[in-house]
Amino acid sequence: MTWWHRLWRRRQMEEQLEKELRFHLDQHTADLVAHGHDPEEARRQARLALGGPEQVREKCRDARGTRWLEDLLQDFRYAARQLRSNPGFTAVTALTLALGIGASTTIFSAVNPILFEPLPYPHAGRLMMIWDIFKDSRSDVTFHSYRELVERNRSFDAMAVFEAWQPTMTGPAEPERLDGQSVSASYFHVLGVSPTIGRDFEATDGRFHGPKVAILSDALWRRRFGGDSTIVGRQVTLDDDSYTVIGVMPRAFENVPGPSAGIWSPMQYDTGNIREQNTGEWGHHLRMVGRLRPGVSRDQAKRELDTIAHTPVPEFPRVPWASLKHGLIVNSLQDDVTRGVKPALLAILGAVMLVLLIACVNVTNLLLARGAQRRGEFAMRAALGAGRMRMIRQLLTESLLLATLGGALAMVVAEFGVDALVALSPPELPRVAAMRVDATAFAFALGITTLIGLVVGFIPALHASHGDLLTGIEHSSRRTAGGHQLTRRTLVVAEVALALVLLVSAGLLLRSLERLFAVAPGFDASRVLTMQVQTSGHRFDESIGEVENSARRRFFVQALEAVRQVPGVAAAAFTSLLPLSGEQYGEYGTQFEDKRGYNVFRYVVTPDYFKVMGIPLRRGRLLDAHDVAGAPPAVLISESLAKSKFPAQDPIGQRVHVGSIDRPWYIIVGVVGDVKQASLAVSQPDAVYITTNQSWFVDEAKSLVVSARGDAAALAPAIRKAIWSVDKDQPIVRVATMEAMLAASAAERRFALILFEAFALAALVLAATGIYGVLSGSVAERTREIGVRAALGASRGNILALVLRQGMTLTGLGVAIGLAGAAAAGQAIAAMLFGVSRLDPVTYLGVIALLLGVSAIACWVPAWRAARVDPAITLRAE
């Protein structure tokens, strides 16, 4: 029998002990009777011989070795009774803890899979991302560089490259643009995951012009193919080509390098053209991931790759732009996917820990206050012989029980919290699918719950068990203010300080977001609907030079015409690049007549683009219907480019090459306002605009912008129908109003802000209740003193001021200490700030005013109560 077994069978053990002792007595009595004793006398003697039955039983219980547990059970029962008898106190403390523990468990659940947990692959720590270096920052690798590294390195078990691939699936259903990846055949092998149905890619799948095959994600397989188990061997049509499905990935597979990918196909680059320069194989558009050999460290691998980079060999000739002369970057895959969000997540984690801390401080204070009320009870128990350790244990049991209650509620909070968090999460956040209250999160909650139970109980327990009997009993007459008031005040000061830190951080983030939205995007987003229209399929195959009559151009022209006919459409235009859409590729080299080159955004637009987007003309003229193929090539430049390039002269009439310098010059005909392209926070306004008719190629995908007469969003179905009336197989994605795009561009900041605001609000409420609680307690304990003061002639105003002063002194102290903390916290969130200083005086002053105001309200009630103390009553009560 184990001890807990014995414990569970306690009742049975008790019965058996009883029975055993009774048997002994009966037997002894019977023996004595047999020897001629009178039965009454026999029983008496037998009892005498055995000793006091209760003592024997007690000793037997001790001998069982479960004594401590039985005591614990008793403590728990007593604690439970205590909590039940004070439902108000229990509810407030349990809810406060539930808030603190729940919030921190929620954040932990979200942050843990991103920052702390290994990625969901075998030996995930050995997965590395490998980058080329261009202009001191990381850059995608070329296919031939990848090939060279694969052949020459000894540090990696396997390497793979991948790139985004968005094929359009056509067939009986609506055309659908899929998110997928084009990968080297080794991709899944590197990650260490294989398909559950069918087979993985093999080296032969990756050969040039090899058969077209694809592997599906579990989600896509279920959604599009109803989870059909005979899927392997089925043909699907992607971009007008027929692909054979060869496998389906496991349901649990998480594709961290490309979370949205639902379909994979092997890339089939030509390995034989390494000596030709102008090929896709020499383009920097691949991401590279490798699995280190066991025992090889990241640094060793980096050193080896750098050595390879610096010692070219004749079998692997290189081109100037992929010379690898700056070496390579080797990062763990985990660091790579989290690098953008890590500072924000750590700041949020820190913030929630502050909330938890404040909640704990508050509960400690409540326990202290209750300890003061229960002083008489403790004194009584001490008088009856309870040891100090025993009392501390009893009180710790109570606080643990409270914490457990709070912890249980917290799991409910966390369960909802994580759902809310996932719904709120910005697109930049990796591993959203892995966010849930799992075993780790549960262990975290359990751990902090226990810790909190012990910590919040410890100070009150020490206080309560502290001091001798006399003062305890004496205390019930409330003659003195008590040393625990000092502890409680200290805790309130701490609470105010912590709240200030959170409020300032939230304030700075709020101001940042305000500043961000105050930034003029350079266009008018109201009543503009946008969507990306794509072209896919062999019907658009073309060779260079057929631009004018290409099927793709015809499609876009007809589509635009169809959209214009839709009722409610005021104007419509296509652009190759849409501001704030997250499109990254749009930068082109330009060269002016002085041979100086600039990287600028290149917008290929139809003339109405400026009208729809409300981009203002600064000088010259806009593009118009006359800027067609045969006419002199016309270009508009952005204001900033005009200023930096032509500070003293008129840019109109100047010439510029956009893209290749082999084509004719474009002539600058006008200057338009600057537009935010990448994000509101990034100033990168150099841009050129040319018409579709005068571009040297037609982009495969264009964004349609439509200005609506009424509600822009409501037009979407009609516009889609109009485009599909031209060609039903062309996918339309990313349908959104321009206003939504604008809001989404700040999603990450907004996410952080919402959390910080929530935490700061919680902190403010907790701090206010803390101040209120301490002052109320203080007023209650000082009733007599206040009564005396009143009797001696203090006016109500005097007493009001007395209590208010006491409360505001605590707040003031807390604010002073909190300022230092806030300055430090500002450092931690510096990366998330925009347009405000870490020490923004407006934020600081606003927060201080808010805190003082709220604490004044919290002080007012107890102060008012104190002022109404009737001296006659208090003095008589003594």
Strands 634-638 and 287-292 turn out to be: unpaired
Backbone angles phi and psi of 846, in degrees to 5: -60, -45
Residues 6+ apart with CB under 8 A from 853: none
- Taking the complex as a whole, the smallest distance from the CB of residue 368 to another protein amounts, in Å, to 41
Annotate 334-369 with DSSP letters as a single string: HHHHHTTTHHHHHHHHHHHHHHHHHHHHHHHHHHHH
Residue 799 to residue 805: CA distance in whole angstroms = 10
Long-range contacts of 545-549 (CB under 8 A, 24+ apart): 547/629, 547/695, 547/696, 547/697, 547/698, 548/629
Backbone angles phi and psi of 371, in degrees to 5: -60, -40
Query: Would you state the torsion angle of the CA atoms of residues 435, 436, 440, 441, taken in this order, to the nearest 10 degrees?
Result: 110
Strands 666-672 and 634-638 turn out to be: parallel
Nearer CB in complex with another protein: 28/222: 28
- Taking the complex as a whole, the smallest distance from the CB of residue 7 to another protein amounts, in Å, to 13
User: Of the candidates 6, 1, 48, which has an alpha carbon nearest to the alpha carbon of residue 25?
Assistant: 48
Q: How many CB atoms lie within 10 A of CB 734?
A: 17
- Taking the complex as a whole, the smallest distance from the CB of residue 48 to another protein amounts, in Å, to 9
The 8-class DSSP code of residue 433 comes to: G
Amino acid at 810: L
* Contact predicate 673/639, CB 8 Å: yes
Nearer CB in complex with another protein: 52/317: 52
- Taking the complex as a whole, the smallest distance from the CB of residue 2 to another protein amounts, in Å, to 11
- Taking the complex as a whole, the smallest distance from the CB of residue 116 to another protein amounts, in Å, to 43
- Taking the complex as a whole, the smallest distance from the CB of residue 23 to another protein amounts, in Å, to 5
- Taking the complex as a whole, the smallest distance from the CB of residue 77 to another protein amounts, in Å, to 24
Residue 844 to residue 830: CA distance in whole angstroms = 15
- Taking the complex as a whole, the smallest distance from the CB of residue 8 to another protein amounts, in Å, to 16
Nearer CB in complex with another protein: 63/544: 63
- Taking the complex as a whole, the smallest distance from the CB of residue 27 to another protein amounts, in Å, to 4
Nearer CB in complex with another protein: 50/345: 50
Residue 476 to residue 380: CA distance in whole angstroms = 11
- Taking the complex as a whole, the smallest distance from the CB of residue 1 to another protein amounts, in Å, to 9
- Taking the complex as a whole, the smallest distance from the CB of residue 65 to another protein amounts, in Å, to 5
C-alpha separations of 376 from 86, 216, 370, 471, 488 in Å: 16, 72, 11, 10, 19
Rounded to the nearest 5 degrees, what angle is found at the Cα of 812, between the Cα atoms of 810 and 818? 100
Residues 6+ apart with CB under 8 A from 444: 105, 108, 112
Q: At what angle do helices 747-781 and 484-518 cross, to 10 degrees?
A: 150
Nearer CB in complex with another protein: 48/470: 48
- Taking the complex as a whole, the smallest distance from the CB of residue 29 to another protein amounts, in Å, to 10
Nearer CB in complex with another protein: 28/466: 28
Nearer CB in complex with another protein: 21/861: 21
- Residues of this chain that bind another protein (CB under 8 A): 16-17, 19-21, 23-24, 26-28, 31, 49-52, 55-56, 59-60, 62-65
* Contact predicate 454/432, CB 8 Å: no
Nearer CB in complex with another protein: 16/725: 16
Nearer CB in complex with another protein: 59/728: 59
- Taking the complex as a whole, the smallest distance from the CB of residue 67 to another protein amounts, in Å, to 11
Nearer CB in complex with another protein: 16/373: 16
Nearer CB in complex with another protein: 20/878: 20
Nearer CB in complex with another protein: 65/125: 65
Residues 6+ apart with CB under 8 A from 298: 128, 292, 330, 331, 332
Nearer CB in complex with another protein: 6/152: 6
Reading the block at residue 571, the tokens are: 């104007």
* Contact predicate 626/669, CB 8 Å: no
Residue 108 to residue 353: CA distance in whole angstroms = 10
Reading the block at residue 486, the tokens are: 């000092």
C-alpha separations of 543 from 3, 433, 604, 629, 761 in Å: 83, 43, 20, 17, 62
